Chains A and B, each alone.
Chain A
Amino acid sequence: MAEATHNVIIGNGSAGNGAAITLRERDPDSRITIITMSSLPFYNRYDLPRVFRGCHDWREILVHPPEYYDDNRITLRRNSRVIDVDGRSRTITFAHNEVMHYDQLLVCAGGRGYLPEELSDYYHLMHGFHSFESAMITHDALPQGGTLLMLGGDMIGLDLARTLIDVGYRVVLLANEYTFWPHRIEPEERDGFLAALERMGLEVVDGMHPVAIEEGAAGKPARRVLFDDGSDVDGDVVMPFYGLMPTAEFMLGSGVDIERGLLVNPQLQSTDPRIWAAGDVCQIWSEADKEYRFYYGWTNVRQMGEVAARNVTGASEDFKGVGDERLHVGKDGYIQSPFWEY
C-alpha cells in the first residue's frame, strides 16, 4: 500500500488551521502535520486583548478544543521551531535536530513584530503582544489603571489600545509613520484619523522621535521614553507596534524565491511546485498592481489558507482578497478597520 501523502504546514494560526481542515476535507487519507513554535494549540491572536478583560486561562481563547486535532487526525507539533527547509530533498530540519520529510509544504508562519534598528538595544525594556504568554506577561506588568506607552501604533496595537481604554488603562500613542499599519493612509487623512483616536480615549503624541528607553526612576513609573528633542514621557509599560515582518528566515535555503516574504503566484504556489504559502508570510503576485504584495487581516489570512489547501489538492484557484481594505471613521467617530473583523 502506498504511503499517505504527508502535507506539512508550518504555522498554527488562522492560515495554517484553515489550510489543515481544508486539506482534511479534500484528502481524507493524507497525513497532516502542523508545526508551531508555540506551546499552545491554535488560538486567535485577534482575541489576545481579552487577556485584559480577565481571560487568563489560555484554554478560554482556543479556537478549537485540543481534541479537535485528534478528531481530524491532524498531528500538532508544538514548541517546534523549523530552522531549515530543503526543497530538493523535501525535508524540514527542526531546531531540536529532528528531520521530517514532506510531500507538500504549506508555509503559514505568519509575521512577527518589526522593531526599528535604533530601538533594538532597548528590546529588553519593552513588552510584547505576539502570543498569549507575552500578553499575560504584559498584563502582569501593567498595574490596574496604569499607562501604556505605545510606539508606532499599527492596527494590532490600536485594537489592544481600544480594549485597554475600555477597561480603565491609559494609553499614550507615540504616533509615527507606522501608525495605522497596514493601512496606507493618505497624508490628508492622517490628522482626521488621529483625532478619531483621541475621541476613542488615546493620548496621541505625534511627530516625536523616540531615541531611548530607560527604567523609571524610583517612585516613578517603570519606564521612560526619551525623545530626540530631550523631552521624555513616563509609563508603566512600553510596547512597540511597528507592523509585521514575515517570518521566513528558515526558508532561505529552500530554493524558493523570497523578497521580504515568500513570493507566490495567485494560486499561492511558490517557485518550488511543492511549496505553498499563505498568510502574513507571503507576498502574492497582484496582476492588477503588477507587483508582489501582502494581504493582512483575519479574513484574508484564513481565505489564503483555504485557497492554498484547495490548490495543493488539485484545484487551480486564485486568491482574491477582501474587497475593501480602507480605514475609515464610523458614525460613532471612532476608527473602523476591516482588519479588526473576524
Chain B
Amino acid sequence: MVDRNGSTDIQFAIIGSAGDGTIAAGDILKRAMAGLGYKVIAFDIYPAEIRGFGKCISRVRVTTEQAYSLKRHSDVLVSLDDSYAIPHVGEVCDYGAVIYEASPIARLPEGAHITAHIRPTQLPYGLNQREISERATSAARSRNIVILGYLAGLYGIDPQAFRDVIAAKFERKAAIVTTSNTTAFDAAYEVGRTVFKLDQGSLGEPAPAKSGETATMMTGNGAIVRGCIDAGLDTFFGYPITPATTILERLAAELPRHGGRVLQTEDEISAISATIGAGYAGARAATATSGPGLALMAEMLGLGVMGEIPSVVFVSQRGGPSTGMPTKTEQSDLNMAVFGGAGDAQRIVLAPTNVDGCYRTAGKAFEMAEKYQTPVIVLLDLYLSNRYETVVPPAKNPFAPDLNKGLEAWRGDGDYQRYQQTEDHVSPRALPGEDGGMHTVTGLEHSELGKPSDLPENHMAMSAKRHEKLKAALTHPDFTICKRFGDEGPIDVGILGWGSTFGEILEAMFAAQAEGIRCSAMKVVMLSPLPEEQIAAFMDDCDAVLLPELNYEGQLANLISGALGRPLTRLNRATGAPMQVEEILAEVRRLARAKAA
C-alpha cells in the first residue's frame, strides 16, 4: 500500500449492518483523509429495502497520486457485522488486513466468526470494538467510531483530522455526543497505535496542495448540485427516485439561499412538464430522475424538442428495466436518453465520467440547452452519483450566465418567426409577454411562425433544423466532448468508454501500458450528437478497439457501430456492480495477444 517512492494507495472497506454506522464511519474516514490532503475516491453500498437491517459497505480508496476508480481488492476490511463481512473477506488483497470484533456477545455456530474465513495470506486484527465503545461511552453504538480510532492508530494517521470531522459531524447535537465519540475514538486510537503491526504501519505523506487550491470531498450528485447553483439555476422540479433523490434534497436545502426555487412535484411527468414550462418562460430549469422516471418523461421531452425549449434533465441510471435494481449501478438508459420518445427527437446527451466532470457538465448543460434551444440530458449512474472524490473547485465561476438568443436578434419583417430558419439553425427566442414576440408553441409540427403545418417540405426542413442546430454543440466552447488519454499514434488496443466506467478504463489502460502494451483510451462525454470524427480518428489508430460498458446490450457499442460501421470488441457487464479494472485489463491483454499472433 506504500511503494518505494513513498506514494500511498490504500483502500478501506467497512462492512456492517444498517444501524451499525457503517456509512457514517466511511464518511468520517474519507473526510478526514481528504482533509489531510490525500486524494480520495469512495463509494457506499446500502440495502434497497427501507428497514433497519441489510448490508452496508463503505469503500474508501486513499492515494497520494491521482486514482480514477476503486480497486477490486481492498487493503483493509473492517467488519462491524461478520454475517455481512464474511462474503467479502476474499476481496482483501494478500497481506491486507481484516479487522473484526474479537469478543462477540452472541454464541456463534461454526464458521459464523470471521476468523474462520481469513486466509493465511491475510492479516487478522481482532479488536474489542464493543468493549472499547462501552468503556468510553457506556454504550456500544460508538463501535463505528472505535474502528476509526483503531485504523488511525494502526496506520499512523493524524488523529486530529478525525477528531475535527467527528466534531463537525455532531456539531448540531448535544456536546456530550461529540465528547463521548471523541473519547471512544481516542481509546481505540491508543489500542491501534500500540498493537503489534504485522505489516507496514504508516501511510506516505500526501502531496502538498497547490497554492490557492483547496480540495473538497464531493459526490457526483453533490457536484451536479454545485454546478447547477454556479450556473445560475432558477427553478428545479423533482420527484424522488433512487439514486437521483439527493440532487432534489440538496437543491431544496441550498437553491433558495441562492435565489432559486425548488418544487417537489407529484410525479415525474409533472416534474418535466414544469421544467419545460419554466424553460419556456425563460428560466434556467432542471429536473432529476432515474431510468423509470425518464421513461415517464419521454413524451414531454418530445415537446421540448419540438418546441425548441431549453431544459436540463439529470438522469442517474440504475439497474433496469422497470423498477429493476434501485440501489445497483448500470449504464443501460443510453438508448432511452438518445432515442426515447416519439419521432425524430434528437437532443443533446452528455455523460460525465467523474465527479469533477459532473460539476462542469451540469453547468455546461444549461449553456447548451439555451444556446441550442433543446432539452439536454445528463446521464449519470448510481456509481457516479454516490461516489465521493476529492475535487478542487475552480477559482472562478466557469459558466456563462445567459446564452439565450433573445428577441432583440429578430430582424425579420412581418410577424415574429419563433422558428425562423437561420444560418446556424437556431432561431431567435422571445419569452412569453415580450412585446412583438407573440407566437405559438405547439407539439404539432409547425411553420417558422409556430403555426401547425404538416406540409411535407416543411416537416423535412424543420426536422433538418432541429438536427442541424445540435451539431454546433460538438464545438461548444470550453467543454470536452471527448478526450484521448495514453499513448499517441498507432496503438495495439484502444479503449472507448463513457460515464463512470471510464475511471476503471483509465486504470486498466495504465496497467496495460505498464505491461508494455501500447494502449490508449478515449472518453466520450457527448453521446448525442456523437463526435463521430474524433471517434473515427481514434479507431483509425487502433489495431483493436474495446468498449466496456455496464449494460447487457452494448448500447454505446451499438451507437458507434451504427454510426461508423467499424468493428469493435464489446465488454458488457450487467451485474449491478461497477466494472472491474481486472476485467478490462484481461480483455486488453487478450486483444493485444491476438494482434501479436
Contacts and interface: CB of A to CB of B under 8 A. Distances in A.
A76 interface: yes
Nearest to B113: A98
Given A98-B107, A98-B108, 10 more contacts: A39-B125, A70-B119, A75-B116, A76-B120, A77-B115, A78-B120, A78-B124, A79-B126, A96-B103, A96-B104
A98 B116 contact: yes
Interface of A: 39-41, 58, 66-70, 75-80, 94-101, 133, 136-137
Given A97-B103, A136-B196, A39 B124 contact: yes
Contacts of A97: 103-108, 113
B103 A95 contact: yes
B102 interface: yes
Interface of B: 94, 101-113, 115-116, 118-121, 123-126, 196, 198
Contact of A78 (B104, B106, B115): B115
Given A97-B108, A136-B196, A41 B123 contact: no
A67 B106 CA distance: 32
What 4 A-B pairs have minimum CB-CB distances, sorted nearest first? A66-B120, A133-B196, A98-B108, A66-B121
B115 A80 contact: yes
Nearest to B106: A97
A98 B196 contact: no
A40 B106 CA distance: 26
A94 B116 CA distance: 11
A67 B110 CA distance: 23
Contacts of B110: 98-101
Contacts of B101: 96
A39 B123 CA distance: 7
A68 B120 CA distance: 9
23 contacts: A39-B124, A58-B198, A66-B120, A67-B120, A67-B121, A69-B120, A76-B120, A78-B118, A78-B120, A79-B102, A79-B115, A79-B126, A80-B115, A95-B103, A96-B103, A96-B108, A97-B103, A97-B113, A98-B109, A98-B115, A98-B116, A99-B108, A100-B110
A96 B126 contact: yes
Nearest to A59: B95
B126 A41 contact: no
Contacts of A137: 196
Contact of B198 (A40, A75, A95, A101): A40
A335 B482 CA distance: 78
A291 B115 CA distance: 40
Contacts of A75: 116
Contacts of B113: 94, 96-98
B121 A79 contact: no
Contacts of B116: 75, 77, 98
Contacts of B124: 39, 78-79
A99 B110 CA distance: 5
Contact of A96 (B115, B119, B120, B121): B115
A41 B118 CA distance: 12
Contacts of B126: 79, 96
Nearest to B118: A78
A40 B198 CA distance: 9
A194 B123 CA distance: 43
B475 to A, nearest CB: 56
Contacts of B125: 39, 79
Contacts of B121: 66-67
B115 A70 contact: no
B120 A99 contact: no
Scoring B101, B105, B121 by chain A CB atoms within 10 A of each residue's CB, the highest score goes to B121
A135 to B, nearest CB: 11
Given A39-B123, A39-B198, A79-B115, A99 B103 contact: no
